[in-house]
Amino acid sequence: MLTTAPVAVRRCLEEDQIRRLEARLVRDHDLVPPSLVHEWVESARARFARATVREFVPLLVERAVRARAKDFPRGLSDLSATGVSGWARNTAHRLLAERLPRRWSHTAGVARRAEQVARVLRVEEQDLLVAAACLHDIGYAAELVGTGLHSLDGAEYLLRAGVARRLCALVAHHSGAAAVAEVLRLGDRLAVFEDESGRLRDALWYCDMTTSPDGQPIMVNDRLSEIRERRGPDDPVVRALAINVDERLAAVRRTHRLLRRTTE
Ligand SMILES: [Fe+2]
């Protein structure tokens, strides 16, 4: 069918095949950050840009990406056994696993990604990233809900529990929470926590934005579509996307560039 269809249709079909292949590769290679899988797909594809026989391009791209994924260095899996991230993991599990199992699956996926992405940070910040990943969504737990802005509710709970202010602030501001707070008129209350800029904060956003609600790796654009679809147009998070989508994408891009450097 591919060979007899007009060129534009064939290009469209191939693009569709490649995107489905990419989603499969992202799922199959859980240890590789999704933005790297995307880059590998595009670079493999570029090598076959002039090929006249197109049928085998997806297969060749798949082979090339799987070969690179096989050589990808493993994450820092011993992190979770030490430092504040061990406490954070237990706390998140206690608050989410039983009553909000899907939220827990997502959290566990974000934490796994954090272990992988932590390589872009200084050693002393790596455990903090994993801890923030574990705690970022605890504000959804019924006993923590106060304002209804989960990032703020989680951060205020952590502050009351005596957790270091920097970790509270990372949770408070994760993934564009400031814009959601503006929509909900909670900006002043969120502003109690400082929104730091830099690698650690970007990496946390990256991990959240490349993990599906079920904890599977996902491309950032698919994640954004999923958020819009699941929450609907009136949801404050979706309304806030009009303000913060570029900021979210920029954090993902910056982290991706650092990841690429650490794997070259
Ligand atoms: Fe999340």
Q: Which residues contact 55 (CB under 8 A, 6 or more apart)?
A: 2, 3
Q: How far does CA 232 lie from the centroid of its chain?
A: 20
pLDDT at position 129, please?
97
Q: Can you tell me the distance from the alpha carbon of 115 to that of 124, in angstroms, rounded to the nearest whole number?
A: 13
**198 dihedral zone (left: phi>0; alpha: psi -120 to 50; beta):** left
Q: Can you tell me the distance from the alpha carbon of 155 to that of 110, in angstroms, rounded to the nearest whole number?
A: 17
Is residue 117 assigned to a domain?
A: yes
- Total domain count, the chain: 2
Q: How far is the CA of 137 from the centre of ligand 1 (A)?
A: 6
Do 37 and 166 lie in one domain? The reply is no
Is residue 1 assigned to a domain?
A: no
Q: How far is the CA of 107 from the centre of ligand 1 (A)?
A: 6
Do 47 and 136 lie in one domain? The reply is no
What is the phi/psi pair of residue 4, to 5°? -95, -10
Do 182 and 243 lie in one domain? The reply is yes
Of the three residues 70, 96, 121, the one that is the final residue of a domain is: 70
Helix (H) or strand (E) holding 65: helix 57-70
**232 dihedral zone (left: phi>0; alpha: psi -120 to 50; beta):** left
Q: How far is the CA of 170 from the centre of ligand 1 (A)?
A: 12
Q: How far is the CA of 234 from the centre of ligand 1 (A)?
A: 19
Q: How far is the CA of 34 from the centre of ligand 1 (A)?
A: 16
Domain, as residue range, for 209: 77-263
Is residue 152 assigned to a domain?
A: yes
Is residue 156 assigned to a domain?
A: yes
Q: Can you tell me the distance from the alpha carbon of 183 to that of 18, in angstroms, rounded to the nearest whole number?
A: 37
Q: How far is the CA of 134 from the centre of ligand 1 (A)?
A: 9
Q: Can you tell me the distance from the alpha carbon of 249 to that of 1, in angstroms, rounded to the nearest whole number?
A: 37
Q: How far is the CA of 10 from the centre of ligand 1 (A)?
A: 37
pLDDT at position 68, please?
86
Q: How far is the CA of 106 from the centre of ligand 1 (A)?
A: 7
Q: How far is the CA of 103 from the centre of ligand 1 (A)?
A: 8
Do 47 and 138 lie in one domain? The reply is no
Both tokens of 47, joined, read 């090598």
Q: Which residues pair with 211 in a beta bridge?
A: 217
pTM of the model: 0.82
pLDDT at position 82, please?
58
Q: How far is the CA of 208 from the centre of ligand 1 (A)?
A: 5
Do 134 and 190 lie in one domain? The reply is yes
The answer to whether the beta carbons of residues 26 and 37 sit under 8 Å apart is: yes
Is residue 18 assigned to a domain?
A: yes
Do 54 and 82 lie in one domain? The reply is no
Do 172 and 205 lie in one domain? The reply is yes
R_g of the chain, CA atoms, integer Å: 20
For the chain, residues with pLDDT lower than 70 are 1-5, 73-82, 264
Do 205 and 160 lie in one domain? The reply is yes
Q: How far is the CA of 205 from the centre of ligand 1 (A)?
A: 9
Do 46 and 171 lie in one domain? The reply is no
Q: Can you tell me the distance from the alpha carbon of 42 to that of 31, in angstroms, rounded to the nearest whole number?
A: 19
Angle between helices 199-209 and 165-172 (to 10 degrees): 40
Helix (H, G, I), strand (E, B), or coil: what is residue 231?
helix
Q: How far is the CA of 175 from the centre of ligand 1 (A)?
A: 8
Q: How far is the CA of 40 from the centre of ligand 1 (A)?
A: 26
The answer to whether the beta carbons of residues 116 and 75 sit under 8 Å apart is: yes
Buried b (16+ CB within 10 A) or exposed e, 65-87: beebbeebeebbeebbeeebbbe
Residue for token digits 């994924």? 69
Q: How far is the CA of 174 from the centre of ligand 1 (A)?
A: 8
Do 113 and 210 lie in one domain? The reply is yes
Q: How far is the CA of 161 from the centre of ligand 1 (A)?
A: 21
Q: How far is the CA of 11 from the centre of ligand 1 (A)?
A: 35
Question: Minimal CA–CA distance to 3: which of 42, 44, 63, 56?
Answer: 56
Do 53 and 127 lie in one domain? The reply is no
pLDDT at position 167, please?
97
Q: How far is the CA of 231 from the centre of ligand 1 (A)?
A: 14
Q: Can you tell me the distance from the alpha carbon of 89 to that of 131, in angstroms, rounded to the nearest whole number?
A: 7
